[in-house]
Chains A and B, each alone.
Chain A
Amino acid sequence: MLENLTKKLDSIFKKIRGKGLLTDKNIDEALREVRLALLEADVHFKVAKSFIEGVREKAVGKEILEGLAPGQQVVKIVWKELSRLMGEEGKTIALSSQPPTLIMLVGLQGSGKTTTVGKLARRFKREGKRVLLVAGDLQRPAAVSQLQTLGKGLDVPVMDPGTNKDPVIVMEKGVKQGRKEGFDVVIFDTAGRLQVDEALMAELVQMKSGISPDEILFVADAMTGQTAVDVARKFHEDLGLTGIILTKTEGDARGGALLSIRSVTGAPIKFIGTGEKLEDLEPFHPDRMASRILGMGDVLSLVELAEESYSKEQAEILEKKIRKEEFTLEDFAQQVKQMKKIGGMEKMLDMIPGARNLKVLPDQSRIEKEMKHVEAIISSMTDKERRIPSIINGNRRKRISRGSGTSVQEINRLLKQFYQAKKMLKRMSTGKMKGLGQMMSPFG
């Protein structure tokens, strides 16, 4: 599906390029494709419709006169508008001036609330805050013990609900304990519920008035379909959401539901969940999310991450090298270092549309284990060997192996990996990744 979309955007690009200025007709054609892209990404049809109208207005307006190809202009306008609608960057949770800050998580069943409670707790704890967790899900079997296990692992206390069956009372007790014992943050888990369940929605309203939370965060699954609009609207109407957390974003879901949720609640997106582990909670970047919804992969993240260790020029030099097949072991070593920062090949692959299908790379755990050795091996090579790896014969391999304290097999494997990576990077720069550079430049 991802590939599909990238192709579609490419075809919009091609169709319009060279046709001169944007006309009503070619905008229509492009916007039809954009609409399909949004629908396939699970953006609600009504939201997609009004989005398209917004883009049309902008496209016909002054923004088109920037000396770009019309296709680039449309893509840029679409992407910019989408990023804008996603809201501001870096909206995290502000702590109340009168602690404890009370945070309540709500959402459908299975959206990931309890795990997210654990993730938030970890985050606050690392900031040196004292955190108390309160189990407001007394409904799902073992939800309380799930929270207790998470708390134990983090060394964060979880208030014992005892035999109490009424979550409202339990939560009120949580506030009291939080105040009395001087906690900085109290986080409340709640049972998942359908927004059409009037009784359970009324219970949430009671909870809200019982504890007067500083934040009511709506936890939504990145895979949610068209119904996201109905769900978010009702939760927002009843509770007045103060923020959104999107979960399970590390997979291949395009996450268009987020646009739907944003558009009916207007609430800021505070974090995204990127894995099952408690450290997998990241700040939200509207521009990356826009790329993802459009099926361009997380290209911006990739570029940004590259920029962490490389300057822009360095990145350009690398791109050139790849194109000219001058990619050396030294560059490879740099890539490996950088990959460590990015968090492994797996994550990087997720960010590149279509890259998953290339299947030329070994799996993540293996790569990670080898990373340390790779650095050792490469630093035991001569400059010449790094530049012209083809000269590394048997004798040289033995020498390098002694110098780096690794085996000759490992060196063989590294060289093989290097050639594979080179091949893959080349393929990406000529094939799937083509246009990436072009598309990036107008956004910069």
Chain B
Amino acid sequence: MGKGFLKKLGLGLKETRNYFSDGVAALFFGRATIDADMLDHLEELLIGADLGVEVTERFLRDLKPCVERKEVSDLVSLKKKLKKFMVSILEKERSEMPFSVSPKVTLFVGVNGVGKTTTIGKRAQKLKEEGGRIVLAAGDTFRAGAGEQLALWGERVGVEVIRHRPGADPAAVAFDAVSAGLARKSDHVLIDTAGRLQTKNNLMAELKKMVRVLEKAMPGAPHEKILVLDATTGQNALSQAKLFNEAIGITGIILTKLDGTGRGGIVIPIVETLSVPVTDIGVGEGADDLIPFHVESFVDALFEDTPQG
């Protein structure tokens, strides 16, 4: 990993890092040892990052004996313990493709407004830079202006976008895009979908149909099914992850909007329950604002000391 990557990560995560790193440091202000009062504040710090009650309580339960044994007694050892805890949950084997397929078909799903279309634009930009040939599918035929939005990204990045008229069957758009990808010997087909709340059975059925149709267009497709989650989301993200996974089987998570004050802590219980890795994080609205997720560097960045001044 290059210096550039770490710098970008550090900048993108500025808000989140300030929260964790400064937050943990503040626990020790005017306090020499870890006491009950401090543990209450630590609890608030973790709850405040949307980790959820259950994971937070578990960490505190794990921590207590370590404090008693004096294994954890100061800022450095507490940070280390927290990092280890997060890494142990977030570290998941990525199921790499056994052999390279082309085109590799990736479906992006999630609730409304999380950043699916933008993420596709960003990923297209990255793949294009790596020399890939790409087709985008404007599978959100529902929301006003959604097709247009992806088309503009296509223009910006310089890749082809397959679009049908508003209200068209999204599965047909996806099918056409994969056919186009096969015909043009593309490396990647990225498929956008309309945002949908996970509790809407008919819309979840529509997604299942898209997956079936894709499999018909190209056996094995879609190769990746990415759930896009918004880092400002609270505990409902767990329900999102569970129900999208039940419907179509998620292979990866992209966490967006980490440039804001949303901490995205809910991914910890999500990754733990679903055993699905986070693949990338979004740290802005620009084409370059998608960063590959490396557990160690991510967690390190969270607890890095805030540069002074």
Contact = CB atoms under 8 A, between A and B. Distances in A.
Interface of A: 1, 36, 39-42, 44-46, 108-112, 114-115, 118, 139-150, 153, 194-196, 221-228, 230-231, 248, 250-254, 256-257, 276, 346, 350, 356, 363-365
B144 interface: yes
A369 to B, nearest CB: 13
A146 B233 CA distance: 24
Contacts of A39: 47, 53
B206 interface: no
B232 A224 contact: yes
9 contacts: A45-B47, A111-B113, A141-B121, A145-B144, A146-B143, A223-B233, A225-B235, A226-B47, A227-B50
A223 B238 contact: no
Given A108-B260, A250-B199, A363-B202, 19 more contacts: A1-B238, A45-B44, A111-B113, A140-B149, A141-B152, A141-B153, A142-B151, A142-B152, A146-B146, A146-B148, A146-B149, A147-B145, A196-B260, A225-B50, A226-B48, A226-B49, A226-B234, A227-B260, A227-B263
A387 B265 CA distance: 55
**Which one of A112, A251, A350 has the highest number of Cβ atoms from chain B below 10 Å of its Cβ?**
A251
Nearest to B257: A109
B112 A110 contact: yes
Most buried by A among B198, B200, B265: B200
Contacts, number: 159
A418 B246 CA distance: 29
B52 A40 contact: yes
Interface in B114-140: 114-115, 121
Contacts of A364: 201-202
Contacts of A45: 44, 47-48
B260 A276 contact: no
Given A39-B53, A108-B232, A142-B149, A149 B261 contact: no
A45 B234 CA distance: 12
B113 A112 contact: yes
Contact of B111 (A145, A227, A251): A251
A139 B234 CA distance: 26
B15 to A, nearest CB: 6
B262 interface: yes
Contacts of B230: 110, 221, 223
B236 A142 contact: no
Nearest to B240: A223
A146 B263 contact: no
Contacts of B266: 225
Given A44-B48, A146-B143, A227-B262, A1 B235 contact: yes
Contact of B115 (A109, A146, A148, A365): A109
B163 to A, nearest CB: 12
A42 B234 contact: yes
B47 A221 contact: no
Q: Which 6 A-B pairs have the closest CB atoms?
A: A225-B234, A110-B113, A146-B145, A42-B234, A149-B144, A142-B149
Interface string B219-241: 00000000000101111111110
A141 B203 CA distance: 25
Contacts of A251: 111, 197-200, 236, 239
Nearest to B194: A276
B293 interface: no
A254 to B, nearest CB: 7
B239 A225 contact: no
B289 interface: no
Given A110-B114, A276-B112, A250 B197 contact: yes
B285 interface: yes
Contacts of A356: 199
Contacts of B198: 251-252
Contacts of B50: 42, 225-227
Contacts of B49: 226
B187 interface: no
A252 B239 contact: yes
A196 B236 contact: no
B201 A363 contact: yes
Contacts of A140: 149, 285
A221 B202 contact: no
A44 B115 CA distance: 24
Contact of B235 (A42, A231, A365): A42
A139 B239 CA distance: 31
Interface string B266-281: 1000000000000000
B122 to A, nearest CB: 12
Contacts of B262: 225, 227
B261 A36 contact: no
A356 B260 CA distance: 34
B17 to A, nearest CB: 13
Contact of A256 (B52, B142, B144, B234): B234
A253 B240 CA distance: 10
B201 to A, nearest CB: 6
A36 to B, nearest CB: 6
A250 B47 CA distance: 25
B234 A223 contact: yes
B145 A143 contact: yes
B192 interface: no
Given A143-B145, A250-B197, A225 B232 contact: yes
Given A110-B114, A149-B144, A276-B112, A254 B261 contact: no
Nearest to A146: B145
Contacts of A149: 144-145, 166
B109 to A, nearest CB: 15
A254 B233 CA distance: 12
Contacts of B152: 141-142
Given A142-B148, A252-B199, A223 B237 contact: yes
A364 B144 CA distance: 24
A228 B230 CA distance: 13
Interface string B1-38: 00000000000000100000000000000000000000
A41 B235 contact: yes
Contacts of B121: 141
Contacts of B166: 149
